[in-house]
Amino acid sequence: MITSNATFIEQQSPYYKLNESFCLNFEKFNAWSYVLHGKITTPKPWILEYKKSTFTSDRSLISLKNKNLFVSVIWKTQTTDTKTFSIRRKHSTDNIVGIFNSNFKCLENHKNYILNAKNQSKTIQEVIKTVHPLLVSNEVFQISQKNGILNIELRTDLHYFNIFNQLTKLNL
């Protein structure tokens, strides 16, 4: 059974209602935040984490127009591929770093992202193809693999279970 840690006043908030509907089958939430942890075991184990935090001052309780929102989605799984790589959003200094590091280059067809890898493995190609809509929408924060653990981190308040389901079907 889900348990809310919200006060009575928070439960009257429209944000509370939105968080409640998303968290119905998960963990604790209130009007300002939620953290969800889950594990899918079929066809192979995946760990899921969803976070949302709204940072406001007391004054913004009167006017909710100004708020700072942090959202994060993390999907993790063990892979058979032991190669190390990372894909992340491009920074302003990346052009300089790319001059000195030949493994560091713009991700093909996604110029807002940097790929840091010695070579493109099958895992990289399959993951990029699967999360392509999220790369286009710039919702991917980082994709990395180290020591056989694939970690996909998004910055979105949408769940994208359809894309996650496609990832679980990949032979990683």
> What is the model's pLDDT at position 10?
83
Mean pLDDT taken over the chain? 83
Domain count, the chain: 1
> What is the model's pLDDT at position 47?
94
71 lies in some domain: yes
The closest alpha carbon to 156, from 143, 169, 172, 137, belongs to 137
Domain encompassing residue 87: 32-168
pTM listed for this prediction? 0.77
> What is the model's pLDDT at position 169?
92
> What is the model's pLDDT at position 34?
79
Type of residue at 90: K
145 lies in some domain: yes
10 lies in some domain: no
73 lies in some domain: yes
More confident site: 56 or 81: 81
> What is the model's pLDDT at position 75?
96
105 lies in some domain: yes
More confident site: 1 or 101: 101
Mean pLDDT of all residues in 38-64:
75
Is the pLDDT reported for residue 69 higher than 90? no
8 lies in some domain: no
In this prediction, residue 58 has a pLDDT band, given cuts at 50, 70 and 90, of low
State the alpha helices, DSSP H only, in 43-130: 94-100, 122-130
100 lies in some domain: yes
148 lies in some domain: yes
Is the pLDDT reported for residue 30 higher than 80? no
8 Å CB contact between 134 and 50? no
Name the token pair of 16.
């509370």
